[in-house]
Amino acid sequence: MIDNKKFERHMRDENLSENTISSYLFAVKQFSNQYNEITLKNLRAYKVWLIEGYKPKTVNLRLRAINCYLESIGKERWKLPFVRVQQKAFLENVISEADYEYFKNCLKRDDEMFWYFVIRFLAATGARVSELIQIKVEHIKRGHIDLYSKGGKLRRIYIPKALQEEALSWLTDKQQESGFIFLNKYGERITTRGISGQLKKLAVRYDIDPAVVYPHSFRHRFAKSFLERCNDIAFLADLMGHESIETTRIYLRKTATEQREIVDNIVNW
């Protein structure tokens, strides 16, 4: 039987994020609900069941969880290989620079400064939304936030000077001198779900395609805009917190809209 509490302690010792811990615990619970014991036969059957019912990315996420559990009990030799994820030749649903500028301007015009800074920080730092909600006034004053990822690896998220100065002015107006800056109406840290839901509503309000307005879209925007201005993919990989530069190479690709525009402009035969 799977000992969830022991597994959770192992993951915390490995400095895994709360989102990862929650996701991995769900996967091992899903496995244990179907199989009475950990055997190679049951592990392989679980993988087949996942492949039949889920997309490749989800399958690999669950397999990553199971492999992490196997490591925690010293059964690394039973680890399951991942399924191949077929990458598309273009980036999907990334907010354009024009729409991002329009969105910023609308929020500022309507004095929606909280949401203005939500998208500003996401697009100007490349932070994940789970990292965004960890930002404090102290980090803005310092100009960066240091976070530890899997295996205790340090990642530094820089806050550009222009954003730093603008945010400090906003915080001064709010008379906030310390603590987390992205709070809900109850004075508690806003949830990632709360951010995602409100961004969709704002997209509709300002007549922007909701499909391109979600937290990770602004992280994609950061990466694409960075490469357009500084063609240093190794540096970008560090800024994004990618384990491998291969993950970062997707930003060398065009969006489907960009591909369409290039084809329309070039192909005249």
Do 54 and 106 share a domain, yes or no? no
Residues 199 and 139 in one domain: yes
123 and 160 housed in the same domain: yes
Question: Which residues constitute the domain of residue 167?
Answer: 97-266
Helix (H, G, I), strand (E, B) or coil at 189: strand
In a structure prediction context, what are the per-residue pLDDT tens digits for the chain, which is 269 residues long?
678 888 999 998 888 888 889 999 999 999 998 888 889 999 999 998 888 888 888 889 999 999 999 999 999 999 999 887 665 555 678 899 999 999 999 999 999 999 999 999 999 999 999 899 999 999 999 999 998 765 567 889 999 999 999 999 999 999 999 999 999 988 899 999 899 999 999 999 999 999 999 999 999 999 999 988 988 889 988 888 887 787 788 787 777 777 777 777 877 77
pLDDT of residue 149: 65
Give the end-to-end CA distance of the chain in Å, rounded to a whole number. Answer: 66
Same domain for 101 and 65, yes or no, is no
Residue 16 confidence (pLDDT): 87
Are 63 and 129 contained in the same domain?
no
Which of 43, 78, 113 marks a domain boundary?
78
43, 71: one domain: yes
Asked if residue 89 belongs to a domain, the reply is no
The pLDDT of residue 246: 79
pLDDT value, residue 5: 87
d(CA 269, CA 261): 16
pLDDT value for 175: 94
Residues 101 and 233 in one domain: yes
Give how many domains the chain has, as a whole number: 2
Residues 41 and 116 in one domain: no
In a domain, 83, yes or no: no
- The CATH number that applies at residue 126 is 1.10.443.10
| Domain membership flag for residue 92 | no
**What pLDDT sits at residue 258?**
75
Please tell me the distance from the alpha carbon of residue 160 to that of residue 231, in angstroms, as a whole number.
Answer: 18
Write out the H or E segment, with its range, that includes residue 192. Answer: helix 192-205
Residue 85 lies in a domain: no
Which residue is listed with tokens 């192992």? 10
Residue 180: predicted pLDDT? 95
Chain centroid to CA 202 = 20
What tokens does 177 get? 């001198």
- Decide which of 78, 109, 140 is a domain's last residue: 78
